[in-house]
């Protein structure tokens, strides 16, 4: 099996997995889910590090460093902001006010 075919296989299988995992999400979690998925594509940082690490001139290096900064913001900010949102969902079962009559 050539590398191309292997990558294509992985690509197509990933599409199905991607569809499958979010197919039953409830409306209230749409925002955190979007934010979490957003953080995941921050792994482009890995790509940014690779190309910057092999930069041969100042243009490539400068552009690469910008990409590294942007990708890190995407990744770190994305996960932290999602965590903050989800923190709020967690606390609600502990206090059950409002039931008193």
Partner 1 sequence: MTPAWAQIGNLAAALAFIFALKALSSPKSARLGNRVGATGAIAAVAIIFFSESNLKHLLLILIAVAFGTIIGFTAARRVQMTQMPQMVALFNGVGGGAAMAVAAIEFLSVGASNGFVALFATVFTIVIGSVSFTGSIVTFLKLQELMTSRPVVLPLGRFITIGTALTTLFVSVYLIVSPEIWAMWTLVVLSLILGILFVLPVGGADVPIVISLLNAFTGLSVAASGYVLDNVLLLVAGTLVGASGTLLTQLMAKAMGRPLTSTLFGAFTAKASTATGSAVDRPVKSAGPNDIAIMLTYASKVIIVPGYGLAVAQAQQTLRELVDLLITKGVEVEYAIHPVAGRMPGHMNVLLAEADVPYEQLKEMDEINSEFSSASVAVVVGANDVVNPAARTDSTSPIFGMPILNADQAEQVVFMKRSMRPGFAGVENELLFNDKTTLLFGDAKDSLSKVVAAVKTM
Cα separation, 53 vs 28, in Å, equals 41
> Min. distance of Cβ 1 from partner 1 in angstroms?
14
Contacts with partner 1 in 32-51 (CB under 8 A)?
Answer: 32-51
Binding residues for partner 1, rule CB under 8 A, total 88
Q: What Cα–Cα distance (Å) separates residue 5 from each residue in 2, 13, 61?
A: 5, 12, 32
Return the number of the residue (1 or 28) whose C-beta is nearest partner 1: 28
Return the number of the residue (1 or 96) whose C-beta is nearest partner 1: 96
Do residues 67 and 52 lie in contact, with contact meaning Cβ atoms separated by under 8 Å? Answer: yes
> Min. distance of Cβ 5 from partner 1 in angstroms?
11
State yes or no: residue 2 binds partner 1 (CB under 8 A): no
Tell which phi-psi region holds residue 97, choosing left (phi > 0), alpha (psi between -120 and 50) or beta: beta
């Amino acid at each position: 099996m050539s590398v191309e075919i292997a990558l294509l296989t992985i690509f197509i299988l990933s599409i199905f997995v991607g569809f499958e995992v979010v197919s039953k999400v409830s409306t209230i979690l749409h925002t955190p889910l979007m934010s979490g998925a957003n953080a995941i594509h921050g792994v482009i940082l890995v790509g940014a590090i690779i190309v910057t690490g092999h930069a041969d001139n100042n243009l490539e290096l400068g552009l690469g460093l910008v990409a590294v900064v942007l990708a890190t913001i995407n990744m770190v900010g994305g996960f932290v902001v999602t965590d903050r949102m989800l923190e709020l969902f967690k606390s609600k079962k502990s206090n059950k006010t409002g039931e008193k009559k």
